[in-house]
Chain A
Amino acid sequence: MFGYYLDLALRSLKRNPVLTGLMITAIGFGIGTSMTSLSVSRAMSGDPIPEKSRQLFMVQIDSWGPDKRGERNEDGLDENMSYIDAMALSNLHAARRQTRIFSTYLNALPTDPKQKPVGIIVPAVDSDFFPMFNAPFRFGGPWSRSDDQEGSPLVVISRKLNDQFFAGANSIGKAFTLDGVSYRVVGVLDDWPLVPRFYNLHIRPYGQIDEIFIPFTRAIKAQASTTSGMSCQDTTTASFEVRLRSECLWIQLWVELPVAADVVNYRTVLNNYAADQQRTGRFHWPPHTQVRDVMQWLKYRHIVPNELGLLVLASFGFLFVCLMNAMGLMLARIIGRTQDISVRRALGASRTSIIGQCLVETTVIGVLGAILGLLLTLLGVMAMRAALADDFAALAYLNAKAVGIEVLLAIAATIGAGLYPTWRAAHVEPALQLKAE
């Protein structure tokens, strides 16, 4: 029976190619546009570290008070905290793992004198950073916690840098000159696409992979200047030592809190610390703190451009309109085939078989529309890469799961749009139509 319906379906579709073509085009375009914008949106608002994003928290504390609160974020909290608070809070050891982070700009001198020196953004982190963020290692591993305290000149480098400077070999123990100081390589990372790079949203969070990591204490010893943003109240460019004692905000603190109970505990510890500061007179306001997990953090920082939201909306509106058009076209076809259907009914076909045949037809259209939609999505994704800055180029992609969902959606939507026309076709009366001839 199915083979017969398929045969009928293909014949009737071929009979009016323009109409069929329009239907397939409408569905294809609708699916293509909405899937393209959805895939870009998904990529940009996607979770950079899905296995752990709910356990990693960014710590914020208000150390400027309501009078001087920055206006950048809705709650008046800055993304960075002062050196004083970063040190004090990390010394509390209230989290399973934690890392202080700021990024600096250093010059790397290759061992080959023919190669030019290269300026690189270098995050200064604690050793917990690597297990916290699931950093994969190719050779070696992170430095130890005692190295953290010493501030030893050690580096972890990326695979790309290892290929560039050491021809991809195991470079553990080799020397590496940064800003005139010799560092020793202790670890080489494997490919590690952390997109967006949520711990530094200042510089190309979608386009830049960090290549070199040094210990936080080392960067402090070297008095490295920050490139990840700094807010100061007045002693803006005073000396480094003064900056360490000042209320300048330039250091991030991330903690790992695996369970909800840990989060509650940490919030209490954080607020107690702020209350202590109030008691000692350093703060003149009640505790104002916050911890946010990765996705909350990205949302808080408005990382996804607003235009993208409207684009997704417009695309789905477009899909809806396309489906309505497809429905209208299918209705037009039914009208054209009323005679056909009535003859078949008079010959004994039940309503169910008419419905069955219509469903097969709409499914065929749905499948063809899905194929077209898929092709258009591929084109659309390529167009998005070209139109957007190379920052987002790596992002818009299609994986098998998305393709599967898209095809199912196309077919389901087409069948949905075809429900009313199918219902109309099923109610064509046999006798009346024959008589009208």
Chain B
Amino acid sequence: MLIAVQIAITLAILSNALGLIVDRLSWSARLTGIDEANIFFVYATSVDKPPSFTALQSSDLALLRSIAGVANAYATNSFPLEGGGWSMSADLEPDQKTASAHISYYFVDEHALDTLGVKLIAGRNFNASEIVDRDGSSAPPATGIIITRTLAQRLFPRGDALGKSLYTETKDPSPIIGIIDRLQGPFVAATGFMSTFTENSVLAPFRPLGESSTYVVRTKPGGLNDVMKAALSKLEVINGIRIISARSMQEVRARAYRSNRGLTLILGAVALILVAVTAFGMAGLTSYWVAERRRQIGIRRALGATRLAILRLFQKENLLIAFSGVLVGILLAISLNIWLIGRFEMVRLNPTYVIGSGFVMLLLGQIAVLLPALRAAQVPPALAISGSRVS
């Protein structure tokens, strides 16, 4: 009885935990679509007022691109997994009541595709002449936009996205001039509204000008740390008093997912220990029963039961109990899942994990009961009949 209850609880928790762990691990393993191993980011903030933001940014980018080991660089408003950025709705017609799609919005120039390492699968890249300065005092329309494949398929399922227009920031249409394979948005959310449009990204030809700049830099393979250090030291001495910092994409990724990974791993550890404790519990309880029923076993043996028969007896008993525990456990797992979905935005229960966990519990039960059952089988008939109790 105790065993059945333990199995039921363990099964319920295990199948839900497995579902959540697998979901979160695969969520945090998603590719951003960029060349993560060779990219780092630079934040530069001016403390004193520079004469011209345009000139400052051009000289910064020229410097960055000239550093040995740098393949390309561009200035942007945000990047994948940064944690914050621009998001908005994208419509097929102006003045729509409900959005056609929700998107992340990146400011890029003509160097962006090469810097990020994303693949253009249709259309073309921006020309240098199409990039418009943007200093926060106005919102000029985007003369063209590049969107991700996911967004294109969602809005134009017939595959005719190129040349069509989207309405995003302003009332003016933005024609789609190119489609890239994939680019993740900057927001890191596993659940909730912000997690529903991670692959819908739009690249708009704007040069963000202001006191703070964010640069994306791609290095040639190898030596990213040295190049990053060189970039920091070279940028610090030009263009007035500035606060400069840099961060590699690997670090960005680690920071984005760190706490979620930690919690998930701990949950996994607890689930694992739970299974182990249940297995040991089964072994312990079976030992207790064996001890309690020594006399019964002895009588059976005396009446002609073989050792194997005794072994089989305990195995079968365990199987029956474990099976009933598994059945109750499945019901418990389903109800637990429904409650968790309501309360904690949990993932739906995957039947594979439930059945799989059930099998694991049955198997563990059989293994756990093996040793005590073997010991039971060793009870000699004569000793049992004489009725001496184990002390």
Contact = CB atoms under 8 A, between A and B. Distances in A.
Chains A and B belong together in one complex: yes
A306 B345 contact: yes
B50 interface: no
A107 B47 contact: yes
18 contacts: A29-B277, A72-B193, A117-B243, A179-B47, A307-B263, A310-B16, A310-B267, A310-B340, A321-B9, A321-B281, A324-B5, A327-B2, A329-B284, A332-B284, A339-B389, A387-B265, A389-B258, A391-B259
A318 B6 contact: no
Nearest to A320: B9
Nearest to A36: B266
A138 interface: no
A314 B270 contact: yes
B306 interface: no
A317 B274 contact: yes
Nearest to B288: A332
A307 B387 contact: no
Contacts of B190: 306
Interface string B92-136: 000001000010000000000000000000000000000000101
B179 to A, nearest CB: 24
Contacts of B13: 313-314, 317-318
A309 B291 contact: no
Nearest to B266: A387
Interface string B36-53: 000000000101110000
Interface of B: 2, 5-6, 9-10, 12-13, 16-17, 20, 24, 45, 47-49, 84, 88, 97, 102, 134, 136-139, 169-171, 190-194, 212, 241, 243, 255, 258-260, 262-267, 270-271, 273-274, 277-278, 280-281, 284-285, 287-288, 291-292, 336, 340, 343-346, 387-391
Interface of A: 22, 26, 29-30, 33, 37, 67, 71-72, 105, 107, 109, 116-119, 179-180, 202, 225, 229, 234-239, 302, 305-311, 313-315, 317-318, 320-322, 324-325, 327-329, 331-332, 335-340, 383-384, 386-389, 391-392, 433, 436-437
A389 B259 CA distance: 5
Contacts of B267: 307, 310-311, 314
Given A320-B9, A332-B288, A311 B266 contact: yes
Nearest to B387: A436
A247 to B, nearest CB: 14
Contacts of A202: 84
Given A317-B13, A328-B2, A305 B171 contact: no
* Residues of A contacting B: mostly: helix
A308 B287 CA distance: 36
B139 to A, nearest CB: 5
Given A317-B13, A328-B284, 4 more contacts: A71-B102, A236-B169, A306-B345, A328-B288
A337 B389 CA distance: 10
Given A307-B260, A314-B271, A321-B278, A336 B291 contact: yes
Nearest to A437: B388
Contacts of B88: 236
B265 to A, nearest CB: 6
A320 to B, nearest CB: 6
Given A309-B340, A310-B17, A336-B291, A235 B10 contact: no
Contacts of A237: 134, 136-139
A335 B289 CA distance: 9
A310 B288 contact: no
Nearest to B17: A314
A235 B139 contact: yes
A335 B340 contact: no
Nearest to A333: B288
B191 A306 contact: yes
